[in-house]
Structure formats: structure tokens, C-alpha cells
């Protein structure tokens, strides 16, 4: 049984039953299986507390008329009220339900030999009653524009309702992990893992972990314009991740080790903007990354490819052991870990510098 209590302007109390049940098969055999099913209460994020905090100041957002065209705001250039934000404009639905996860987990592990072990792990998790934000009332109307139907405000937005996710397509995570590892003591070690990952759902508007993640609460969720192409890959979805670590002695006391890593990029979508009735409307140009069938939408940013090497030589003395080492990081320097500009219209403009290739040498003494 799980109990949630959120201390804010309106305390939220949830009583949500939860359990996690697992069974292990063939524990003493070469091939072992473990399966588990859980009804797991959702971990409410601190972002919810911020959203409902009574003491947050109430903000007012106005239309802006840049009379002198200097692109800087001066007093007197504000137009009619556009909307309120934060503070007392946030209300809680009387029908609010506690979110929870259905999770299914299966693990297969096999001792391939005296040195090697193989593990396969698969899991799927679906979120129910996820939190969401809506307008309290109908503040506008829909207007067609090309292949889109955009929502245009007819009056200022004054209240938001904190409620539950109501879209037909539910948020979910799925993951498949293969891990092969082995070692021969004082001789060599090896580890290889590959993960395929899928996480999808409607989220707050934008890219990155502060918006495109299940459980993040934001006023942007209330606008139907942010739902356009909204059901895509969430920020934690890296699609494919591969890692390999190995090391072995080239000769007594001379050890070579290496790491090879591949991590797919963060889901990303370019953002389109429209000016209608003095209102700037933002929408996602495509879904973020790919859909459930792998059909491409937006690109991915910040993917990582890395190869690093280390060579070490140990020199035992009477009461001291010295180790001389040289480490080469980012050997191939793919230059791929880039954040990108969302308003480029589809051009992939980088917003940051790269981690450089580097060489480090040192001496370590142990006694």
C-alpha cells in the first residue's frame, strides 16, 4: 500500500495499492529464468509541488506592440492581457486520480562456460493516470492552416486545471538488454552489452529533460497546439546503447584496456512558429525521433561514440608498488555530442563545443 501526500495550496492525498511479485525458476541450473509483475505507484516529481505551490507569485502576460520597432520592451507597449501564469491560476481537479505503473519484467541468464555468462533482460512499463494540465474552460477556437488545425485564443487564459492524462495513446517504456561478460583472473576480462530502448508519450512542450519527459508538469500542456505531433519519443529514450570493455596482459605487468561506447541521441524536434491574430503559436514540426514502428520524425541530438585506451605497467618494489599509465580518451573524436538549435527550420546548427581528444599520463604509488 502506498500513500502520497503533497503539501501545497491544496494537499493531495492518494491511497494506491501496490505490489511487485516475482518468481525464479531453475536457480541451481546452468540456465535460470526470473519473471516479475508489478503494480507500482508512480513517483510524484517535485515539479508537481512547484506547479501547485500557493506562494508562487501570480504573473500576467500581455500582448506586446513594439511601436518604435526597436525590439526592446518599454513601458506603455503592453497590449491586452494574454494570459495569467502560476500562483492562483493553477487549480486541482476534483476528479484527480493517483498515477501508477504496470510493469512486466523477464530475465534469462545462462552460464555459457566456466568463463562466460550471458544475460537477456526485457521489460515493459505502462503509465496510467499520468498527470496533465488543461485549460479550465474553452478560451478559443480552432482555425485551419494548411494541414494543421491551430487553436487561437479569443480571450485571456485565467485558470489551468491540474488533472489526469486523457489521450488514447498511453505513455510507456520498453527495454531489451543483452549482456555478455567473462574473465580469467589475473589474465583478462571482457564485457559487452547492448540495449534497445523505447519510451513514448505526450509530454510538456519542448525538447530535453525539463520538458520532454513523462511526469513533467507545465502550462504548455493545456494548449492543443502543443499536442500536434506530440506523441513521440521521450527524452530518456536513447533507442540503442552499446558498450564494450576489455583488458588483457600483453606481457607480465603490462596491461592494456579499452572501452568502446555508442549511445544514440536524445529525441528532438524542430519547432515551427506562426503569427495569427497577434498571437505567436508554436508547434512541433514533426514527432520527436521515431514513432512506435520506427518511422522517422525529427532527428536525434547529442549521440555519443567513444573509443578510449589505457596502457599501464606495474613495478613492484620492496615496500611500494608503482604503476605507470597512459590514457587516451576520445581516440577517434567523432565530434557528435551536439545540442542543436530548435528554430532553424530543419538546419542542424550546433549550440555547443565538443569534448576534445585528450592524453593523460601519470604515476600511481601504492603501499
Structure confidence by residue, pLDDT tens digits, 132-190 = 999 999 999 999 999 999 999 999 999 999 999 999 999 999 999 999 999 998 899 99
Structural domain spans, the chain = 2-366
What is the pTM for the complete model shown? 0.83
Residues 6+ apart with CB under 8 A from 184: 115
How far is the C-alpha of 118 from the C-alpha of 193, rounded, in Å? 10
From the list 301, 303, 360, the residue with the least C-alpha distance to 331 is 360
How far is the C-alpha of 210 from the C-alpha of 204, rounded, in Å? 9
How far is the C-alpha of 290 from the C-alpha of 361, rounded, in Å? 43
How far is the C-alpha of 67 from the C-alpha of 200, rounded, in Å? 44
Residue 103 cell numbers, joined = 510493469
21-77 pLDDT, tens digit each: 999 999 889 999 999 999 998 888 888 888 988 888 889 999 988 888 888 988 888
Task: List the alpha helices (DSSP H) in the chain.
Answer: 46-52
Amino acid at each position: 500500500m502506498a500513500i502520497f501526500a503533497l503539501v501545497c495550496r491544496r494537499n493531495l492525498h492518494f491511497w494506491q495499492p501496490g505490489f511487485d511479485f516475482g518468481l525464479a525458476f531453475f536457480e541451481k541450473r546452468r540456465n535460470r529464468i526470473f519473471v516479475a509483475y508489478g503494480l507500482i505507484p508512480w513517483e510524484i516529481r517535485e515539479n508537481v509541488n512547484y506547479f501547485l505551490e500557493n506562494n508562487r507569485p501570480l504573473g500576467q502576460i500581455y500582448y506586446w506592440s513594439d511601436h518604435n520597432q526597436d525590439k526592446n520592451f518599454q513601458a506603455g507597449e503592453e497590449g491586452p492581457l494574454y494570459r495569467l501564469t502560476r500562483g492562483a491560476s493553477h487549480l486541482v481537479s476534483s476528479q484527480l486520480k493517483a498515477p501508477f505503473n504496470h510493469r512486466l519484467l523477464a530475465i534469462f541468464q545462462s552460464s555459457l562456460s566456466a568463463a562466460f555468462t550471458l544475460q537477456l533482460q526485457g521489460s515493459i512499463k505502462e503509465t496510467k493516470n499520468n498527470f496533465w494540465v488543461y485549460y479550465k474552460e474553452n478560451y478559443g477556437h480552432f482555425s485551419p492552416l494548411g494541414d494543421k488545425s491551430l487553436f487561437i485564443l479569443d480571450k485571456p487564459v485565467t485558470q489551468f486545471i491540474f488533472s489526469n492524462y486523457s489521450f488514447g495513446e498511453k505513455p510507456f517504456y520498453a527495454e531489451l538488454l543483452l549482456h555478455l561478460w567473462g574473465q580469467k583472473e589475473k589474465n583478462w576480462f571482457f564485457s559487452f552489452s547492448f540495449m534497445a530502448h523505447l519510451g513514448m508519450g505526450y509530454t510538456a512542450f519542448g525538447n530535453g529533460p525539463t520538458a520532454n519527459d513523462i511526469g513533467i508538469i507545465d502550462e504548455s500542456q493545456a494548449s492543443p497546439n502543443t499536442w500536434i505531433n506530440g506523441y513521440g519519443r521521450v527524452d530518456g529514450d536513447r533507442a540503442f546503447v552499446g558498450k564494450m570493455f576489455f583488458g588483457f596482459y600483453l606481457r607480465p605487468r603490462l596491461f592494456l584496456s579499452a572501452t568502446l561506447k555508442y549511445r544514440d541521441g536524445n529525441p528532438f524536434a524542430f519547432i515551427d512558429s506562426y503569427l495569427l491574430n497577434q498571437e505567436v503559436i508554436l508547434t512541433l514540426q514533426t514527432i520527436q525521433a521515431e514513432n512506435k514502428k520506427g518511422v522517422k520524425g525529427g532527428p536525434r541530438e547529442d549521440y555519443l561514440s567513444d573509443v578510449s585506451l589505457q596502457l599501464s605497467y606495474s613495478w613492484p618494489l620492496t615496500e611500494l608498488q608503482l604503476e605507470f599509465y597512459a590514457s587516451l580518451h576520445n581516440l577517434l573524436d567523432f565530434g557528435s555530442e551536439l545540442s542543436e538549435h530548435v528554430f532553424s527550420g530543419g538546419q542542424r546548427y550546433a549550440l555547443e563545443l565538443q569534448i576534445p581528444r585528450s592524453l593523460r599520463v601519470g604515476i600511481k604509488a601504492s603501499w
